[in-house]
Amino acid sequence: MEMPRIIRVGTRASALARTQTGLMVDRLRQLGHTVEVELITTQGDRRTDLKIAQIGSDGVFVRELERALLDNRIDAAVHSLKDLPTAETPGLALACVPLRGMPFDVLVARTPTTLETLCVGAIVGTSSIRRVAQVKLLRPDLVVRGIRGNVDTRLRHLDAGDYDCLILAGAGLERLGLSRRITQILKPEAFWPAVGQGALVIQIRADDAAMHRALEPLDDPATHRAVTAERSCLQALAGGCLAPIGAWARDNEAGILQLGACVLEDCGEEIKKITMQKDSGGEGGSEPVQLGLRVAESLILQGANEMLTRMRDGVSS
């Protein structure tokens, strides 16, 4: 297949999605490609009145983009990797994972503070089950209140006094030029990010060899290996992108891939948490996948499956 005269790239319409897509489009144009951007509204964008878990299963921010790919309306889709289900859609491929941004969650408050120094009863805005559980574990005296909408909408609610602080993805704030709003970076093992957080992925049709070649220069091998390990762990735990599972993989100073992961359960009276960290040990080409499987197996031996089953039952009831 010859390279199309124009590469059509699909993205969600939020300011963050458009900014992230713009970074990839700029790279493609620098490589000499002609690119057009198509804005596509997803189910997750339309139903801001509901919690994400109430809208449907995994993929509420990606399914419409995938359909546009399969229907040949676009040639590539740019996603936040943490929004993407672990099961790949038949006919589509994850062709490129660019250099990762900040992988951590951050605290955003109106005044300089940290999660540890917030006043008793302070209102924390987040709708992520994973984030809610970790806030409750670290500060059970805080009030966690759900919040939906894009980054600008959430910040307006914060500045209006509806919340004392928010927990957001640090990479999104950095890409929007809002790093100044960050008051604390929340890092493992105290606070685990979502699988794939801070990473972008470009999805294409699996049989589109020309797009594979066009995107190859944008791929960052170290980031690709790290998120492959994280997603392998998540898939082995049968946890979707909404599950209370955190993970972070990275190369250490010796160049060895390391993966840590966390599974949480909100039992009402208490939060249960199990963690596991391992390194790859140099296992060859399947190293990231095998590392993810080993970490998942260790978590399962500690009771992860039972915890996740109870959490899923609780969300669906």
Active site residues: 83
Q: Are 251 and 288 in contact (CB under 8 A)?
A: no
Report the 10 Å Cβ neighbour count for 75. Answer: 23
Cα–Cα nearest to 265, from 277, 273, 257, 276: 273
Nearby residues of 243 by Cβ (< 8 Å), 6 or more positions away: 129, 130, 234, 237, 308, 311, 312
**Rounded Cα–Cα distance for residues 9 and 26 (Å):** 12
Nearby residues of 45 by Cβ (< 8 Å), 6 or more positions away: 12, 13, 14, 61
Q: Are 37 and 75 in contact (CB under 8 A)?
A: no
**Rounded Cα–Cα distance for residues 212 and 225 (Å):** 18
> E strands along the chain, which residues?
7-11, 35-39, 76-80, 92-96, 105-109, 123-125, 143-145, 165-169, 184-186, 200-205, 245-251, 257-266, 271-279
Phi-psi region of 312 (alpha: psi -120 to 50; beta: other; left: phi over 0): alpha
Q: Are 85 and 201 in contact (CB under 8 A)?
A: no
Upper half-sphere CA count for residue 125 (Cβ side, 13 Å): 24
Here the tokens at position 188 are: 């493992």
